[in-house]
Amino acid sequence: MSIPKLHVAVLMGGWSSERAVSLMSGQGVVDALTARGHCVTAIDMGRDVAAKLAEAAPDVVFNALHGCPGEDGTVQGMMDLMGLTYTHSGLASSVIAIDKELTKQALVPHGIPMPGGRIVPSQELYAGDPLPRPYVLKPVNEGSSVGVAIVTADSNFGTPISRDAVGPWQEFDSLLAEPFIRGRELTTAVIGDRALMVTELKPHSGFYDFAAKYTEGLTDHICPAEIPDDITHACREIALRAHRLLGCRGTSRSDFRWDDEQGVEGLFLLEVNTQPGMTPLSLVPEQARHLGMDYGDLVEAIIADALAIDGGGTDR
């Protein structure tokens, strides 16, 4: 895809738990745009981000932030007020998608299969299990598997969970408890209005946590996934439907858990990422590359989508 030469501000970094990943994503975008002749202003987001964006006055902002407040609607609302054109999803979509419980409320009534579960005050975990073991505990509004714990019958967390056991209950006031789904990790990217392919993720040990995602050599990416055609079709269909139902823009990535003993009935959407990673190990660039779109093409396609949908005052 060819787009005119632009002044692009790349927003990265910030202060979330995913700062380091965002810096890697942002630098990749900066390098790709610079190589293609665009004027690029890199902005490591601080509390003065609005002033920096106003001073830069870019044609478009490439939002390479991950986690809060760059992915939860906060920065999107600020840029809406400033009248800036920016990539990825807008305010309302970001608010819903970052919150796993709100995502379920938006998608499950439309037939999207997602695990059950409920929000649990962390203090209640010390009195007893909220669900039969094994179950999963995760923060409601964090990404990249930050703060996820799998509580099993033989885990070293204690029965019930001990106050001294290291886990997300020590960091977050409340957590989402979901039944543990045995099986395989799958993910599907959407760009624009097209679901790409399915990748299977095989961590060498444990589960697909933050370290497994961003440490080279800890996880095998099987792309395309070696799964039945009906599961591939279901992943792509669900990812695209979720992208549309949430009003996502640009690109998103839907993560699944599949119990391969249950066929398509064992496939569950876990979450939708509205600003997936753009690092060398990230899944969206990998899937795009398998379909003949190099990293620079991908970056320009995301920008082209933002420029095409800029409507001033609407949720992008």
Burial class from Cβ neighbours inside 10 Å (0-12, 13-18, 19+) for residue 3 reads: middle
Read off the DSSP letter of residue 74. Answer: H
My answer on whether omega of the bond before 69 falls inside 30° of 0, hence cis, is: yes
Burial class from Cβ neighbours inside 10 Å (0-12, 13-18, 19+) for residue 50 reads: middle
Dist. CA 8–CA 10, nearest whole Å: 6
Q: CB of 283 within 8 A of CB of 277?
A: yes
Q: CB of 258 within 8 A of CB of 184?
A: yes
Q: Residues 113, 93, 307, CA angle at the centre, nearest 5°?
A: 125
| Catalytic residue ranges | 18, 144, 214, 253, 255, 271, 273, 277
How do beta strands 7-12 and 60-63 pair? Answer: parallel
Contacts of 295 (CB under 8 A, 6+ apart): 28, 32, 278, 285, 288, 289
